[in-house]
């Protein structure tokens, strides 16, 4: 019985590999955690937004790609900070924040860390105390009251491979629901959830 269960799981993984189209090759016009980076002025290298959510770039990466950052600045959120591990936000603060000379708005998405409670307190303080940080827009905002914080909708997960599905299939499904008038917006916490009727 275990053999059959294992074979079924292996077949499922094979189908996912064969049918999934990586979202890194297709950025649909919907709010999703990685895609928002493409609308920012500073977003790292071309491959940064496509990397795994739990990857972490060193300070040198942020010195190279974020030096003098201004405007909309996207940094991957991840969840590494929950376990006390360094995350991209820590390395951004150490590597790039000292070089910032103009106002900027920070956008943090692509991860499940609660903001600011899961982020190192030194990182949060450095950001919030920075006079050039106009606002910090983030997913998973945990309600800490500060005038610079603005919650962002979690959006749609278009980067996790799913059985017998693809990004294009999910987007086509959303388009068909929208065409039928099947979205009803509900107000919940940060006004960021839609439900289908």
Domain annotation covers residue 74 = yes
Domain annotation covers residue 45 = yes
Q: Give the global pTM.
A: 0.75
Domain annotation covers residue 83 = yes
Domain annotation covers residue 16 = no
Residues 17-62: pLDDT tens digits? 555 455 455 566 666 788 888 889 999 998 898 888 899 999 999 9
> Do the strands 133-138 and 149-151 form a parallel or antiparallel pair, or are they unpaired?
parallel
Give the residue numbers spanning the domain of 43: 25-155
| Alpha-carbon distances, residue 51 vs 6, 22, 175 (angstroms) | 29, 11, 27
* Rounded Cα–Cα distance for residues 173 and 24 (Å): 19
Element (DSSP H or E) covering residue 107: strand 104-109
pLDDT at 189: 44
Residues 148-174: pLDDT tens digits? 999 988 777 776 666 666 777 777 777
116: preceding bond cis by omega (within 30 degrees):
yes
Domain annotation covers residue 82 = yes
Question: Looking at the 3D structure of the chain, how many domains does it have?
Answer: 1
Domain annotation covers residue 181 = no
Give the torsion through C-alpha atoms of 186, 191, 196, 197, to 10 deg. 10
Domain annotation covers residue 38 = yes
Domain annotation covers residue 8 = no
């Amino acid at each position: 019985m275990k053999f059959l269960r294992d074979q079924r799981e292996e077949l499922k993984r094979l189908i996912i590999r064969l049918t999934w189209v990586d979202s890194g090759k297709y950025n649909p016009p919907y709010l999703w955690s990685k895609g928002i980076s493409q609308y920012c002025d500073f977003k790292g290298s071309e491959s940064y937004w496509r990397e795994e959510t739990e990857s972490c770039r060193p300070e040198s990466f942020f010195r190279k790609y974020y030096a003098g950052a201004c405007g909309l600045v996207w940094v991957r959120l991840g969840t590494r900070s929950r376990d006390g591990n360094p995350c991209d936000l820590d390395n951004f603060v150490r590597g790039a924040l000292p070089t910032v000379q103009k106002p900027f708005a920070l956008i943090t998405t692509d991860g499940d860390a609660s903001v600011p409670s899961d982020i190192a307190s030194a990182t949060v303080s450095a950001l919030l105390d920075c006079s050039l940080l106009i606002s910090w827009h983030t997913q998973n905002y945990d309600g800490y009251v500060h005038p610079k914080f603005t919650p962002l909708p979690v959006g749609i997960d278009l980067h996790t491979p799913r059985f017998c599905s693809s990004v294009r299939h999910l987007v086509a499904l959303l388009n068909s629901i929208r065409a039928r008038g099947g979205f009803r917006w509900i107000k919940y916490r940060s006004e960021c959830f839609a439900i289908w009727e």
